[in-house]
Amino acid sequence: MGIFKAYDIRGLYGSEITLETAERIGRAFAEFLKGKRVAVGRDMRSHGEAVKTALVRGLIRGGLEVLDIGITSTPMGYFAVGHYGLCGGIQVTASHNPAAYTGFKLTRAGAVPISENTGIAEIRKLTERPPAKDVEPKGTVKPLDIRRDYVAHVLALAGGVGPLHVAVDAANGMGGLETEMILPHLPVRLSALYLERDGSFPNHEPNPLRAENLKDLIRLVKRSGADLGVAFDGDADRACFVDEKGGIVTNDLTTALLAMEILPGNPGPVVYDLRSSRVLPEVIRQYGGTPIRERVGHAFLKDRLRRENGVFGGEFSGHYYFRENFGADSAIIALVMVLKLLSKAGKPFSEVLAPLRRYHMTGEVNFEVEDKDAKIRELAEAFPDGEIDDLDGVTVQYPDWWFNVRKSNTEPLLRLNLEGMTEEAFHKGRERVMKILGTPVDR
């Protein structure tokens, strides 16, 4: 079954994931978890309630007490598991995927994510075998409204936010709910797009990492005179920012901003993924932190954050993880932290960012390659004089430029990230690597 991914379970509703599949996953999760109480929430997709109901049926068959937290963002699901001391949770969501998809994000106690290496592979085996017998007595389900506690949790981190004008594009996803719950409590003026929850995503796909999905937000920022803009993905666990001029802020630079805000009063390890600019570890050290480089993937960063007792972590894809948030990712907390930094800075966002925009990056570029492992080996052999590591794919580093090429965890692609410390080094390095990888694809 191709629905079991590196970090979650995801597929087309009705064909790859049926209601029977959802129920079997619930029964398997109950057997895997060997716990008592779990939280279950869902996003705004039209099939979400049916999928959740089938999933809960399987969890109850496995003897679990299910707390139904309703229509919630993924960070709200993480909060429920951590705050109420539950043994785990499942969020019914397909994140930024189109409307036809559904899926499940799984956690254990403490909001610790369950990935392929820590449980999804085992849950897959349990799902594919003949159904286990029902546990007697069967479990129960009851509603739990977490909103008051969740709002208090986020606002506890919001001290110091000043009067700013914020533009939000929620992409008709769960970021609209987060915006409506949190921002009215802050001294900010709001200009908003697509707050209404609509799982058909009528305006644009809910993936803010793609520049075309930020066009509406950029226009809104320029038209309204906002101090900054933020775009959420479908389940509101990722955020991408633009400055007051409409300039896109890459998410490694947002992690650097978070370091500038968080580390002065709370020094410690900061985990980041290896696609990030060299600016990021430089800033982390400058502000008293210890940079820790990790492979790509939220499960890997969260695990490393916990093992290192890290202060926070940031991923190039727009996930931001906070110790005060059970080590889990939260787009709205990232927004709160950026607002605090800008409130203190007292100058435009673009001016705060200017010193960080000192190197030259490709961003993530995708390539369709028939034999990915062979191509990665070819790249490693083509740069024998560079500093090479294989933490995730292949990374080759020189004093004035570097690149990483890795296999996508979710798509049949190789992904390139390349940076030059000078424009000349950037162009020369890119030409050498592109000659081996071929023509990029728009994926």
What CA–CA distance (Å, rounded) separates 388 from 382? 11
Q: Could you tell me which of 123, 160, 143 has the C-alpha nearest to residue 336?
A: 160
What percent of the chain has a predicted confidence (pLDDT) above 70?
A: 99
219-236 pLDDT tens trace: 999 999 999 999 999 999
Q: Does domain 9-145 have CATH number 3.40.120.10?
A: yes
Span between the terminal Cα atoms of the chain, in Å: 23
183-197 confidence digits (pLDDT tens): 999 999 999 999 999
Structure confidence by residue, pLDDT tens digits, 127-157: 999 988 999 999 999 999 999 999 999 999 9
Quote the pLDDT of residue 297: 84
d(CA 171, CA 197): 8
Instruction: State yes or no: pLDDT of 270 exceeds 60.
Output: yes
What residues does each domain of the chain span? 9-145, 150-356, 360-437
Catalytic residues: 95
Instruction: Give the distance, in angstroms, between the CA of residue 304 and the centroid of all CA atoms in the same chain.
Output: 15
Check for a shared fold between 9-145 and 150-356: yes
* pLDDT, averaged across the chain: 96
Question: What is the structure's pLDDT at 410?
Answer: 65
pLDDT for 207-221, tens place per residue? Answer: 999 999 999 999 999
Residues in Cβ contact with 282 at an 8 Å cutoff, skipping those fewer than 6 apart: none
Average pLDDT, stretch 305-329? 96
The pLDDT, as a whole number, for residue 412 is: 79
Residue 50 amino acid letter: A
- Residue 73: pLDDT band (50, 70, 90) is very high
Q: Is the pTM of the predicted complex or chain greater than 0.85?
A: yes
- The fourth-level CATH superfamily of domain 360-437 is Alpha-D-phosphohexomutase, C-terminal domain (3.30.310.50)
**Correct CATH for 150-356 of 3.40.120.10, 2.40.160.40, 1.10.3470.10, 3.30.465.10:** 3.40.120.10
